[in-house]
Amino acid sequence: MGISVIGEKCTGCKKCEAACPFGQIEVIDKKAVIQEGCTLCGACHEACEVGAIEVERPILQGASDLDTYRGVFVFAEQREGELRSCTLELLGEGRKLADKLGQELAAVLLGDEVEDLCPLLVAHGADKVYLARNSNLRFYQTESYAAVLTAVISQYRPSIFLFGATTTGRDLAPRVAARVRTGLTADCTSLDIEEETGLLLQTRPAWGGNIMATIKTVNHRPQMATVRPKVMKKPEPYPDRKGKVIHIPIKVNPKGMKTTLLEVIKSREQTISLEEAEIIVSGGRGLQSAENFKVVEELAQVLAAAVGASRPVVDSGWKSHPYQVGQTGKTVQPKIYIACGISGAVQHRVGMESSETIVAINKDPDAPIMQIADYAVVGDLFQVVPELIKVIKSRTKKGESRKNLT
Amino acid sequence: MRIIVCVKQVPDIAEMEKMETDPKTGTIIREGMPAIVNPFDEYALEEAVTWKEKQEGEVIAISMGPPQAEDALVKCLSMGADRAILLSDRDFAGSDTMATTYTLARAIGEIGDFDLVLCGQQAIDGDTAQVGPMLAEHLHIPQITYVNRIEVEGKHVVATREVEDGYEVIRCRMPLLLTVVKGINVPRVPTYSSLSEAMDKEIPIWTAEDLDVERDRLGLPGSPTAVTRIWYPVPRTGGQVLTGEPPELAERVAQVLLNILQG
């Protein structure tokens, strides 16, 4: 086994015992003793303050047993017991990859009282669900989640492991990749299997899609990637699909963790996240004041869209930073992006240029945004937008959402 | 309090318009493109300097890159870093995030004890956001990413983390690593005198020789990921231009939206 306790360093403080999510360390006669069922997850190594525990994982550089890593795994992200939509998108994409390889697709689900989600994961394509259920896994926390995933990788040896490129996925995946020492590609927008080699082809944009790169992880496993939300299509669910749920026995002791989640605060303003929105209505400098921004918010409301802003709006304090789209804000890829009074500096464009359809409303037909918009609406936003709100409202029956309107 | 800030020098994207492409290969000619400190790293540096001023201590800026990345470190010194270290060696070239963070971790190991490591949430050229968490793992310290507020309470940090639907408040004992978002502060603008002082400071250059490293974990050979293809997609071009009176425009836009939503 690749784990050892350095006897002279160990003080018998029991921090490792508390940290082990699998109950596989016992302190006997003031020394830590690793039990048979150790998964090499590394939680004890992280918790030990005197450097008395060493974990050695086999490094797979050029190793001959790369082929023994099999299956496509998807991290099933849930928040408050509900699956993130990117999870279903990942299952759809993962299914295609698994079929090309002739291997299994598995979802890895962590949380508290989340069993109900297993049939949903299976219906969307998972052959297996690895379920780690524990009240201390209710909320995402890097330490506990990274330990469980490392254990899953050590034990079940997947060839591919996919995550949504959310704030959770982008916090968790690099931590795990560094721990198991494998490659990770961020924010992919397309995935495929290379025919000759069976390797995962991971394609991602840089500089707002001005450059595209395809990346491979040749000699390390699993091949890990985070995938941009909204890019892959959600698959049709088949409720009759059969799948297997495998319980991962786990005990998480909050005392063994270095970080404490004190509070989870829901944003009161933005009810739809920019990254996951189908429609985004964004406002720019053309709004002229914070007060005027209301017209953008109202249009967003009638369209059930998320609200975005350009950098000058955020720098002027009309909207807070979480609303910013662009280079120093968020990169978004909605179905429809409506830019109101945004000139379209390159710093903004790199954050939204991959949107499916761009509608720009601007007085200036020569503004850069008008040159990339699918629909360049030349007009005064203070006249056009209120009219647009009226028209949309008139087509929406009272109290009905946009979905019913279509 | 000792704070280490990791910074990256990146091309100034605002100048991208003027960028030229090689007519033969279609690749961007990067030479001569102006370089700046990654904007997110400026927030990290400002935060570090602010806390140093409140708590007393030392801020060390560290960067890995070609020799000219020294310019980025000069800017850090002019913004209040006490000293700066440049990691530069041909053997570091071609590093992916894994090899980069391994090298950074070993360099931080040479520096010695610290309380905080601060990074920007991501670099604007690569956009991976992977360096923070990977570096924290190599250093065996906890991480808190996407932080927009830091409070120091004795030996603990309470950080507010920006997530899709709100915020998380997390408490952690130091040492730890934090990656910060825009909006955490407004970075100071260096003055003429702080800049000239910074230019007089010596910035040591550390090579692989200076670090306790396994050579096969450095640079391109030490990188698990490999770029196999790079291409430049055809830039997006405009579509229809709609003109007319506002009510008519609104009708047409509404129709466009409905058509798309009905798929």
Among the ranges given (A251-255, B6-10, B127-131), the one the predictor scored with the smallest mean pLDDT:
A251-255
Name the nearest CA neighbour of A336 among A267, A392, A285, A396: A392
In chain B, where the domains are located: 2-217
What is the reported pLDDT for A126? 98
Question: Is residue B33 very low, low, confident or very high in pLDDT (cuts 50, 70, 90)?
Answer: confident
Among the ranges given (A13-17, A284-288, A308-312), the one the predictor scored with the smallest mean pLDDT:
A13-17
Q: Name, in order, each residue with C-beta under 8 angstroms of A230's C-beta and a sequence gap of 6 or more.
A: A86, A89, A275, A276, A278, A333, A334
What is the reported pLDDT for A383? 96
What is the reported pLDDT for A110? 98
Q: What would the mean pLDDT of B219-228 be, rounded to a whole number? A: 92
What is the reported pLDDT for A20? 87
**Contact between B133 and A178 using a beta-carbon 8 Å cutoff:** yes
Q: What would the mean pLDDT of A37-56 be, rounded to a whole number? A: 85
Which backbone phi and psi does A319 adopt, to 5 degrees? -140, 150
CA distances to A299, B129, B167, B200 from B133, rounded to whole Å, are 38, 8, 19, 34
Would you call A398 an interface residue with chain B, using a CB distance cutoff of 8 Å? no
What is the reported pLDDT for B28? 55
**Contact between B133 and A175 using a beta-carbon 8 Å cutoff:** yes
Q: What would the mean pLDDT of A153-158 be, rounded to a whole number? A: 93
**Contact between B39 and A406 using a beta-carbon 8 Å cutoff:** no
Average pLDDT over chain B, rounded to an integer: 92
**Contact between A215 and B225 using a beta-carbon 8 Å cutoff:** yes
CA gap B257, B167 in Å, rounded:
32
Would you call A312 an interface residue with chain B, using a CB distance cutoff of 8 Å? no
What is the reported pLDDT for A1? 47
> How many CB atoms are closer than 10 A to CB B120?
27
Using the structure block, give the residue that is written with the tokens 């179905």. Answer: A335
Name the nearest CA neighbour of B37 among B78, B82, B94: B78
- Fold annotation for B2-217: Rossmann fold (3.40.50)
CA gap A53, A5 in Å, rounded:
5
pLDDT in tens, A316-372: 999 999 999 998 999 999 999 999 999 999 889 989 998 999 999 999 999 999 999
Chain A residues touching residue B241 (CB < 8 angstroms)? 365, 370, 376, 378
What is the reported pLDDT for A398? 46
Would you call A66 an interface residue with chain B, using a CB distance cutoff of 8 Å? no
Question: Is residue B7 very low, low, confident or very high in pLDDT (cuts 50, 70, 90)?
Answer: very high
B162, closest residue in chain A (CA to CA) = A322
CA gap B37, B166 in Å, rounded:
29
Tell me: pLDDT of A32 over 50: yes
Would you call A149 an interface residue with chain B, using a CB distance cutoff of 8 Å? no
In angstroms, the separation between the Cα of residue A372 and the nearest Cα of chain B is 4
Query: Do residues A19 and A256 make contact, with C-beta atoms less than 8 angstroms apart?
Result: yes
Question: Is residue A395 very low, low, confident or very high in pLDDT (cuts 50, 70, 90)?
Answer: confident
Using the structure block, give the residue that is written with the tokens 């059930």. Answer: A304
Amino acid found at A357: T
Q: Name, in order, each residue with C-beta under 8 angstroms of A62's C-beta and a sequence gap of 6 or more.
A: A219
Chain B residues touching residue A263 (CB < 8 angstroms)? 167-169
pLDDT in tens, B57-98: 999 999 999 999 999 999 999 999 999 999 999 999 989 999
Which backbone phi and psi does A313 adopt, to 5 degrees? -65, -40
Question: Is residue B186 very low, low, confident or very high in pLDDT (cuts 50, 70, 90)?
Answer: very high
**Contact between B172 and A260 using a beta-carbon 8 Å cutoff:** yes
Question: Is residue B23 very low, low, confident or very high in pLDDT (cuts 50, 70, 90)?
Answer: low
In angstroms, the separation between the Cα of residue A275 and the nearest Cα of chain B is 8
Tell me: pLDDT of B24 over 70: no
Would you call A211 an interface residue with chain B, using a CB distance cutoff of 8 Å? yes
**Contact between A384 and B253 using a beta-carbon 8 Å cutoff:** yes
What is the reported pLDDT for B157? 98
Q: Name, in order, each residue with C-beta under 8 angstroms of B54's C-beta and a sequence gap of 6 or more.
A: B152
Show the tokens assigned to B193: 């005198």
Q: What would the mean pLDDT of A166-172 be, rounded to a whole number? A: 97
**Contact between A171 and B256 using a beta-carbon 8 Å cutoff:** no
Would you call A383 an interface residue with chain B, using a CB distance cutoff of 8 Å? yes
CA gap B87, B70 in Å, rounded:
10
Question: Is residue A130 very low, low, confident or very high in pLDDT (cuts 50, 70, 90)?
Answer: very high
Phi-psi region of A229 (alpha: psi -120 to 50; beta: other; left: phi over 0): beta
Name the nearest CA neighbour of A250 among A142, A148, A146: A148
Chain B residues touching residue A351 (CB < 8 angstroms)? none
Q: Are strands A211-217 and A200-206 parallel, antiparallel or unpaired?
A: antiparallel
CA B69 to chain centre: 13
Q: Name, in order, each residue with C-beta under 8 angstroms of B196's C-beta and a sequence gap of 6 or more.
A: none
| N-term to C-term CA, chain A | 60
Among the ranges given (A2-6, A318-322, B245-249), the one the predictor scored with the smallest mean pLDDT:
A2-6
Average pLDDT over chain A, rounded to an integer: 91
In angstroms, the separation between the Cα of residue A54 and the nearest Cα of chain B is 12
Question: Is residue B19 very low, low, confident or very high in pLDDT (cuts 50, 70, 90)?
Answer: low
A315, closest residue in chain B (CA to CA) = B183
Would you call A305 an interface residue with chain B, using a CB distance cutoff of 8 Å? no
Q: What would the mean pLDDT of A185-211 be, rounded to a whole number? A: 91
**Contact between A328 and B133 using a beta-carbon 8 Å cutoff:** no
CA gap B152, B136 in Å, rounded:
19
3-state secondary structure B87-147: ECCHHHCCCCHHHHHHHHHHHHHHHCCCCEEEEECCCCCCCCCCHHHHHHHHHCCCEEEEE
Would you call A160 an interface residue with chain B, using a CB distance cutoff of 8 Å? no
Show the tokens assigned to B188: 């100071």
ipTM: 0.94
3-state secondary structure chain A: CCEEECCCCCCCCCHHHHHCCCCCEEEECCEEEECCCCCCCCHHHHHCCCCCEEECCCCCCCCCCHHHCCCEEEEECEECCEECHHHHHHHHHHHHHHHHHCCCEEEEEEECCCCCHHHHHHHCCCCEEEEEECHHHCCCCHHHHHHHHHHHHHHHCCCEEEEECCCCHHHHHHHHHHHHCCCEEEEECEEEECCCCCCEEEEEEECCCCEEEEEEECCCCCEEEEECCCCCCCCCCCCCCCCEEEECCCCCCHHHCCEEEEEEEECCCCCCCHHHCCEEEEECHHHCCCHHHHHHHHHHHHHCCEEEECHHHHHCCCCCHHHEECCCCECCCCCEEEEECCCCCHHHHHHHCCCCEEEEEECCCCCHHHHHCCEEEECCHHHHHHHHHHHHHHHCCCCCCHHHHC
Q: Domains (ranges, CATH) in chain A? A: 3-55 (3.30.70.20), 66-253 (3.40.50.620), 274-405 (3.40.50.1220)
Q: Name, in order, each residue with C-beta under 8 angstroms of B65's C-beta and a sequence gap of 6 or more.
A: B8, B9, B72, B86, B87, B88
Question: Is residue A10 very low, low, confident or very high in pLDDT (cuts 50, 70, 90)?
Answer: very high
Question: Is residue B17 very low, low, confident or very high in pLDDT (cuts 50, 70, 90)?
Answer: low
What is the reported pLDDT for A399? 44
Choice between A41 and A202, residue whose per-residue pLDDT is larger: A202
Q: Give the A window 37-56 contacts with B, CB below 8 Å.
A: 45-46
**Contact between B142 and A186 using a beta-carbon 8 Å cutoff:** no
What is the reported pLDDT for B63? 98
What is the reported pLDDT for A404? 43
Choice between A191 and A256, residue whose per-residue pLDDT is larger: A191
**Contact between A209 and B226 using a beta-carbon 8 Å cutoff:** no
Q: Name, in order, each residue with C-beta under 8 angstroms of B41's C-beta and a sequence gap of 6 or more.
A: B5, B6, B7, B8, B119, B120, B123
CA gap B70, B44 in Å, rounded:
18
Among the ranges given (A61-65, A118-122, B42-46, B127-131), the one the predictor scored with the smallest mean pLDDT:
A61-65
Chain B residues touching residue A329 (CB < 8 angstroms)? 182
Residue in B166, B225, B262 nearest the CB of A185: B225
Among the ranges given (A276-280, B142-146, B174-178), the one the predictor scored with the smallest mean pLDDT:
A276-280
Give the number of A-B residue pairs with CB atoms closer than 8 Å. Answer: 260
Residue in B172, B250, B262 nearest the CB of A388: B250
